[in-house]
Structure 1
Amino acid sequence: MIDGGGPRLGPARRQEAIAEQILARGDITAGELAELFQVSLMTIHRDLNELERQGLVRKLRGGVTAQPSSVFESNVSFRERSMRAEKEAIAARAAELVEPGMAVMLDDSTTSLALARRLEALAPLTVVTNFLTTIELVAGMPGIRLIALGGDYDVLHNSFLGVSCTDAIAALQADLCFVSTSAVTGGYAYHQEQHIVPVKRAMLASATRSVLLADHTKLTRTALYRVARLQAFDRVIVDAGAAPEALQELDQLTRSLDVAALLPPEAP
């Protein structure tokens, strides 16, 4: 039992604990959750309905998941926990493209967030982003001028989207734009959700150079909406975990391909 035999959790605290379980495991059945929290299946389904309404999880028949699908993106908290080493390797390679004095545009991906953590060392910079997590991170960095893109707040992505956001992007011209997408296949970058696509396209159109950041799991996924041709990006950066045949195909379909080696683990 999740609370070790103590008093049962109230609804809000139980839902928070359920979300933590789902994010840690990726997916779980309703029956397993009912046993863990010592409540009825009906109660668990009410909790899951609320978590789904908040965009934290996605209900399946008999269970729930934080994993992405071809038409649903995963919650930002789950994405931050996944493929960390690969994202750090890609971010390290991407940071080599950034020079002091540049205006850098970052999308609402957790891969671009890994890059954002490295930008203080490259200041002075102007950073443009719609990702609230990056906004909060960069706002405290000395030497960084922050332009926060507003719009309609989306809780699932913790970012600002919509017409107000794309209009704000169109008024700017960045030196470098870094974006990530949900899937890369057949010469195109894809995303599962339609309302995300216009923002990424606007960023690509408002930058002198653009870079696609994609860990190797993106090369085996499918998604519904085309964002752009791979040829639209000046550079594509993937990690060394990609299969040789996938790298060979990408090399033929991209203008410039970088393969980032995984970084050695930090000393304790």
Structure 2
Amino acid sequence: MSDSDRHHRILELLRSSPFASARDLSENLQVSVATVRRDIDKLDEQGLARKVYGGISAIDGATAHGVFARTYAERSAVDVTVKDAIAAEAATMVQDGDAVIVHGGSTCFRLGERLARRNIRLFTNSMPLAAVIGETGTCALTIAGGELHREPLILHGAGSAEPFFASKFFLSAQGADERGLLESHPLLVDVAARYAACADRIVALVASSKFVVGARQVSLPWSRIDTIIVDDGLSSEHRKMLEDMGVELRIVATGSGEA
């Protein structure tokens, strides 16, 4: 297979999936990982795709579900009422003196805004949240170290959470199904595992709409999640699934659903 044939095949794959890891491409194209990485560099240089942590992503962010790789501003403008309700409920779980980890993402950002002036210690890898708390907040703030990854607007690198230990880790996800919380970007999968190991309790902030969004990889299985906060648009099928998994379920009223 020629270089141009491989590049064409990679771009075809990105039309159906927003991200492809170097290892997956190596297996799909039956070439070495080193060859794939050169292909990724070339496509990035040509502006046909974006080189990201662990692989390559589509420039336009198009997916079968139209969710992944939207800009942060675009994601922030979706399901605003639901995100606010979920964030408000999550804030009630934080007590004065707590140490908490708040992951990147627009729902977690809204939680962080509510916690910004509380008497707590807050760790985040979210650049937008760190900027807001730095400017207007009064809580003790610790920011993740490492490099800026512009696609999810988070900081990540070696030792980016350690040695910060928290009572609670709040995170969201691209999608959710019977396997657990889902992400397409391997960086976000790695971050979730790292931060989960640093917290006593893991709380997922997930809009009911995320349960119809597919993604490639399990970020955290339900066995690792202590509590999920979700809006009342959650279907009875998904509610039963979560209850069967033993996850504490907190449903917030938005006037939109079955629960």
- Give the TM-score, by structure 2 length: 0.72
- Matching residue within 63, 84, 99 for 2:80: 84
SS of the equivalent of 2:82 reads helix
SS of the equivalent of 1:259 reads strand
SS of the equivalent of 1:197 reads helix
Kept after mapping to 1: 8 A contact 2:61/2:68 = no
- Give, in whole Å, the separation in 2 of the partners of 1:193 and 1:154: 11
- Matching residue within 127, 130, 137 for 1:135: 130
Counterpart of 1:40?
none
Going from structure 1 to structure 2, the CA distance change for 1:66 and 1:85 (only over 3 Å counts) comes to farther
Say if 2:142 is the partner of 1:150.
no
Say if 2:97 is the partner of 1:105.
no
Offset, 1:67: 6.4
Offset, 1:242: 1.5
- Give the TM-score, by structure 1 length: 0.70
Offset, 1:252: 1.5
Going from structure 1 to structure 2, the CA distance change for 1:218 and 1:254 (only over 3 Å counts) comes to farther
Going from structure 1 to structure 2, the CA distance change for 1:262 and 1:200 (only over 3 Å counts) comes to same
Offset, 1:171: 1.4
Counterpart of 1:227?
219
Offset, 1:255: 2.4
- Give, in whole Å, the separation in 2 of the partners of 1:126 and 1:113: 16
Equivalent residues in 2 for 1:12-31, closer than 5 Å: none
SS of the equivalent of 1:140 reads helix
Counterpart of 1:198?
190
Offset, 1:175: 1.3
Kept after mapping to 2: 8 A contact 1:72/1:193 = no
SS of the equivalent of 1:238 reads strand
Kept after mapping to 2: 8 A contact 1:70/1:223 = no
Counterpart of 2:7?
none
- Give, in whole Å, the separation in 2 of the partners of 1:177 and 1:65: 28
SS of the equivalent of 1:118 reads helix
Equivalent residues in 2 for 1:145-224, closer than 5 Å: 145-161=140-156, 163-164=157-158, 167-224=159-216
Kept after mapping to 2: 8 A contact 1:70/1:222 = no
- Give, in whole Å, the separation in 2 of the partners of 1:179 and 1:236: 10
Say if 2:228 is the partner of 1:236.
yes
Counterpart of 2:69?
73
* Identity between Structure 1 and Structure 2 (%): 23
Structure 2 unmatched runs, 5+: 1-45
Aligned length, in residue pairs? 207
| One-letter amino acid matched to 1:149 | A
Counterpart of 1:19?
none
Going from structure 1 to structure 2, the CA distance change for 1:66 and 1:87 (only over 3 Å counts) comes to farther
Please tell me the root mean square deviation across aligned C-alpha atoms, in Å: 2.7
- Give, in whole Å, the separation in 2 of the partners of 1:221 and 1:104: 28
Following TM superposition, the consecutive aligned residue runs of length 4 or more in structure 1 with deviations greater than 4 angstroms are 49-55, 64-72
- Give, in whole Å, the separation in 1 of the partners of 2:137 and 2:187: 33
Offset, 1:72: 4.4
Counterpart of 2:89?
93
- Matching residue within 108, 111, 116 for 1:115: 111
